[in-house]
Amino acid sequence: MERVDVTILGREYSLVCAASERESLLAAVKHADRLMGSIHASGKISGNERIAVMAAIAIAGELLTMKAPDGPLGGLAIGDFKRKIEDMNTMIDGVLNS
């Protein structure tokens, strides 16, 4: 594990990650900082906590609409895939409980 010092919205943070994860962590920090910076610059939301929450919601939205790569589930959004799995689990639970 290695320590990585980063700056997000002007504040310093020390994070720890495996050496193999360093580049993806730095890319994630850069993405979050850029998004938080644009939310802050809009002037509509103030306070770092509120900006962080809005950025987290935006990033979660990006993740849930991300499309699966080519293959049997190609083109299916991750969020749709998650909902389908949850629906199947509910259906299975219903059958097992009856």
What CATH architecture applies to the domain 1-65?
2-Layer Sandwich (3.30)
Q: For the chain, which residues make up each domain, given as ranges? A: 1-65, 68-97
pLDDT at 22: 95
Whole-number percent of the chain with pLDDT over 90: 60
pLDDT at 39: 95
pLDDT at 71: 72
Cα separation values, 1 from 4, 54, 92, Å: 10, 30, 41
pLDDT at 42: 94
pLDDT in tens, 35-72: 999 999 999 998 999 999 999 999 998 887 887 777 77
Strands 11-17 and 2-8: antiparallel
Cα–Cα distance, 6 to 26 (Å, whole number): 8
- Give the bridge partners for 7, in sequence order: 12
